[in-house]
Structures are given as C-alpha cells and as structure tokens.
Structure 1
C-alpha cells in the first residue's frame, strides 16, 4: 500500500491534493493582497474623493445617493499615512500567504504547522467580526478556515502516527 510522500511506480511522488488545494488558495490570497497593496500605493497623493466620484459615474451610480455619500465620508478619513500603512500591512500579509502557499505546494511540514498556527490565531478575530457584523461572506471565510484547520490537524496526526517510534 502506498502512503503519502512515497514514490509511485515510475518514480513519481504522490502529492497530497488537500495540501495542493490549500497551497493554491494561499497563493491566490497572496496575489490578491499584493494587488491591494499596489492599489494603495497607486492612490498615494491622489484625491480619493475624485477617484470615488469617477468610479461612481463609470458604474452609473447617482452621485447624490446615500451610498456614494457614505463612501465619500469614509474615504475622507484616509490620509497618506493610512494608505502607506494599508500598503505595508497588505504586502506583509501577502508575503506570509506566499510563504504558506509555496511551502504547502512543496509539502513542507513547517508550512503545515505555520498554516495551522496562523489559522488558529485568526479564528478569535473572525468569530468576533462574525458576531459583530454577521454576513454570509464572513461565515464563508470562517467555514473555509475551519475546514483548512480540520484538514491540517487530521493530516499532521496521520503523519505522526505513521512515523515508527524508536525503542
């Protein structure tokens, strides 16, 4: 019987589909957050209110609507320093997700533990946000992270039990 990580016939290594899927998800998050960081840098020294109005007009929103007014009020709170902090934070998160993704795709045990620790560390915040402002999006993110967590715990336990102990 073939176990995970052992070569198949022809010398090819068996890849864990679950780790590959989680790794690709993390790589996708890395790209998304990198793009958000680039967008924040692109907005430095621009009139964000003007940008919001141009986007609202392009999307055929009424510029006098409550939604556009709400977005304009929120955008007025963002200054150059906050944009720099947003870009710094998103770039940092992008690098962490990139590290997780590459490690998981390469089936590195350290990446499995890193992802496990990071997923556990974000759960209290995700639960707080879900209780504070419930939405299907927040619930979906929580369920995805719980599924990742459950899979990694199962996989790491299985690997630990498969390793023979020395007497």
Structure 2
C-alpha cells in the first residue's frame, strides 16, 4: 500500500520479477520465430559445438531426439504461447509496479491457476529448480492474499 509516496516493497519486488519473466519469455518467443524454417538438428549441433559439448554425448543425442519432434507448426505454437505469456507477465508487472488492485487480483488468479501444474511437474520429476519455482509462487501467493486482506480490513475500518 502507498503511504505518503512510499511504495509497497513486496509489490515492487513481485512486479520486477514479473517484468523479468516477461523479458525472458519474449526472448524465447523471438528465438522460436528465429528458428522457423531452419533445421533444428543443425542448430542443436552448432550450439553444442559452440558450447564445447561432445556431439556424440548422451545429452546432445537426447536433445536431437527431442527437436526431431518439433515441426514448423509446433514451433509457431511455441512462439505464440511464449509471446502470450510474456504479454501477460508484462501486464502483471506494470500493474503491480503501479500498485493497481486489478493487477494484484490478476496475479493472484494466475498464480493459483499454475499451482496444480507446478505440483504435478514437481512430483513427476522432482528437482531443486522446480521446488524453488513452487516456493517462489507460494510466497507470491501468500503475500498477495495477506496484502489484499489487509486492504480489505483497512477499507472496512474507513467506513
């Protein structure tokens, strides 16, 4: 909440996090568009060589098997989805930085909606990265619930 020009640090932090996610997914979308009409296997081999990976390694072979499943249509879908997610995160981030209540509710709803998928992924393939993402989103969720309840109580007291 704002008090005499002071911004809520929690909303600022969450908003900056959302803007960072927006930038990341925008770059991923650009990458997907850049790869349209290219041989993904050649691109993987070029990247593996540039990063000094053994082209015969198990990791590179696995990656080559996975990119063989991606056709132009799927790559367009990936690009569209990453741009859409980037736009949503940008909207959340700007709204939170401006301390708009609609952005707090939007972020709350979106965070809740992704929790089942995050839990499923964590159970399916547990690792520290997935656990970290889940914990960050639970912290965001907890903070937003607390903040919205506090605002609601303040509004009731002003009546």
TM-score (norm 1): 0.92
Residue 110 in structure 1 maps to residue 109 in structure 2 = no
Residue aligning to 1:136:
128
Residue 57 in structure 1 maps to residue 74 in structure 2 = no
Would you identify which runs of 4 or more consecutive aligned residues in structure 1 move more than 4 Å? none
Larger Rg, first or second structure (1 or 2): 1
Deviations 1:49-83 (A, max 9, x none): 11111111111111111111111111111110000
Q: Which piece of structure 1 moves more, 37-46 or 67-76?
A: 67-76
Q: Which runs of 5+ in 2 are unaligned?
A: none
Q: Which runs of 5+ in 1 are unaligned?
A: 8-12
Residue of 98, 117, 120 corresponding to 1:125: 117
Count of aligned pairs between the two proteins: 159
Residue aligning to 2:83:
91
Residue 79 in structure 1 maps to residue 61 in structure 2 = no
Give the whole-Å Cα distance in 1 for the aligned partners of 2:86 and 2:34: 17
TM-score (norm 2): 0.97
Residue of 42, 65, 69 corresponding to 2:34: 42
Deviations 1:85-127 (A, max 9, x none): 0000000000000000000000000000000011011101100
Alignment root-mean-square deviation, CA: 1.2
Q: 1:68 to 1:134 in 2, by over 3 A?
A: same
Residue 6 in structure 1 maps to residue 3 in structure 2 = yes
- Which structure is richer in relative contact order (CA contacts within 8 A, separation 6 or more)? 2
